[in-house]
């Protein structure tokens, strides 16, 4: 593919962004919104805009096509302090295993994400002080995925996620599917000589699945017929709700800042991402990551979301956009063997309009398949 065709492809995709209008009028109409929260420390440091160049188990919540670049075994654990000050945390574990020599048979991935809300006191009209027993909401996501590298430039994958949420007596459960592809190539002739790709494009479709509904004894109540005196249990009929479907289209470009013996020590990667949301306004994100010898990485992003329907006022253009703010993170990654095995520590910060932001810490072990 020559450069003119590549540039034409990029411009076509960028011009198509305006076709996605978002659905701010449907804000709040979807359930299982925990599916849009990325619990991984490395990719959340870029605000989740790494659709084009996410790799390994981090792909579970961004673009499953990036899982295909795993060449051995990767294990990652992260813990997010969600809305710091509320006591809510997210524990997340992901495992990826390449099949065949260096992933020639594709890559399998398994993951589990669990939300911890702590113990919440039960209150009622007669007991408003929380002297009754407590309860503990449960949010659990289990996923299995497969991704494959179809050529030197193209990867694709699919993910099946089991979604479960509720309390002891009310629960909703269902499945959601993710699909993603990535394309990579090089615009730079020097990059081609050392077999490095500098341009990447990614597209992912997430949270596609049937509607969910709540069931359980907690939706029943006691009903006494005033005419006959019959004492029966009646059941509230819970309505169905949609999954928070979304589409991500992202671009990334690697700028190698120096070269020494065909090895680049300093890398600066620019990222851009457009997120179309079926149940809220769209999000645009821009960010960059600096890496030194792929051992130290510093990243940051800026996200902007169009204001939802509650704030929209056509007579006031300043209300058309609301600021999601700056996201940031860093990584320390150390090789522990000559064959490529490495250990990494990740951290990220995400802004919030209330409380004290979101802080995520992660550890990662990569076992090379070479």
The total of other beta-carbon atoms located within 10 Å of residue 149's CB is 21
The total of other beta-carbon atoms located within 10 Å of residue 313's CB is 10
Tens digits of per-residue pLDDT, 176-217? 999 999 999 887 655 555 556 689 999 999 999 999 999 888
Is pLDDT above 70 for 239? yes
Tens digits of per-residue pLDDT, 115-171? 999 888 888 888 888 778 888 889 999 999 999 999 989 999 999 999 999 988 899
| Token duo for residue 309 | 């329907």
pLDDT at 188: 65
**Between 182 and 231, the higher pLDDT residue:** 182
Four-CA torsion 288, 199, 154, 327, nearest 10 degrees: 10
The 3-state secondary structure of the chain reads CCHHHHHHHHHHHHHHHHHCCCCHHHCCCECCHHHHCCCCHHHHCCCCCCCCCCCHHHHHHCCHHHHHHCCCEEEEEEEEEECCCCCEEEEEEEEEEECCHHHCCCEEEEEEEEEECCCEECCCCCCCCCCCCEECCEEEEEEEEEEEECCCCEEEEEEEEEEEEECCCCEEEEEEEEEEEEEEECCCHHHHHCCCCCEEEEEEEEEECCCECCECHHHEEEEECCCCCCEEEEECCCCCEECCCEEEEEEEEEEECCCECCECCEEEEEEEEEEEECCCCCEEEEEEEEEECCCEEEEEEEEEEECCCCCCCCCCHHHHEEEEEEEEEEEEEEECCCCCCEEEEEEEEECCCCCCCEEEEEEEEEECCC
pLDDT at 319: 36
Four-CA torsion 99, 100, 105, 109, nearest 10 degrees: 10
For 227-238, letters b (16+ CB in 10 Å) and e give eeeeeeeeeeee
Query: The pTM is what?
Result: 0.83
The three-point CA angle 358-364-369 to 5° equals: 150
Tens digits of per-residue pLDDT, 50-93? 999 999 999 999 999 999 999 899 999 999 999 888 889 999 99
Four-CA torsion 112, 80, 269, 60, nearest 10 degrees: 10
pLDDT at 227: 76
**Mind listing the domains of the chain with CATH numbers?**
3-367 (2.40.160.40)
Tens digits of per-residue pLDDT, 96-119? 999 987 667 899 999 999 999 988
The total of other beta-carbon atoms located within 10 Å of residue 159's CB is 24
């Amino acid at each position: 593919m020559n450069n003119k065709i590549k540039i034409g492809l990029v411009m076509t995709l960028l011009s198509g962004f305006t076709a996605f209008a978002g659905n701010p009028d449907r804000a709040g109409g979807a359930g299982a919104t925990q599916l849009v929260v990325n619990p991984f420390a490395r990719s959340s440091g870029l605000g989740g805009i790494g659709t084009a160049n996410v790799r390994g188990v981090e792909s579970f919540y961004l673009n499953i096509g990036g899982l295909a670049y795993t060449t051995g075994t990767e294990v990652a654990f992260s813990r997010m302090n969600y809305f710091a000050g509320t006591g809510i945390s997210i524990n997340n574990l992901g495992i990826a295993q390449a099949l065949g020599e260096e992933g020639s048979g594709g890559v399998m991935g398994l993951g589990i994400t669990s939300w911890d809300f702590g113990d919440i006191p039960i209150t009622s009209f007669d007991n408003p002080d929380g002297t009754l027993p407590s309860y503990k909401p449960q949010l659990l996501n289990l996923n299995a995925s497969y991704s494959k590298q179809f050529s030197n430039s193209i990867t694709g994958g699919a993910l099946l996620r089991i979604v479960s949420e509720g309390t002891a007596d009310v629960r909703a459960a269902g499945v959601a599917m993710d699909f993603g592809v990535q394309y990579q190539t090089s615009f730079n002739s020097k990059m081609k000589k050392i077999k490095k790709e500098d341009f990447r494009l990614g597209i992912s479709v997430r949270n596609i699945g049937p509607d969910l509904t709540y069931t359980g004894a907690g939706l029943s109540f006691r009903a006494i017929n005033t005419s006959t005196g019959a004492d029966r249990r009646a059941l509230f009929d819970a309505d169905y709700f949609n999954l928070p479907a979304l589409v991500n289209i992202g671009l990334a470009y690697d700028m190698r800042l120096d070269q020494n013996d065909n090895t680049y020590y300093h890398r600066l990667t620019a990222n851009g991402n457009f997120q179309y949301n079926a149940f809220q306004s769209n999000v645009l994100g821009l960010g960059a990551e600096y890496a030194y010898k792929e051992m130290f990485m510093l990243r940051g992003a800026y996200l902007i979301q169009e204001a939802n329907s509650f704030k929209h006022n056509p007579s006031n253009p300043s209300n058309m956009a609301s600021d999601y703010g700056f996201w940031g993170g860093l990584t320390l990654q150390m090789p522990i063997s000559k064959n490529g095995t490495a250990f990494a520590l990740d951290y990220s910060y995400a802004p919030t309009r209330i409380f004290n932001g979101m802080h995520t810490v992660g550890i990662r072990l990569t076992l090379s398949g070479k």
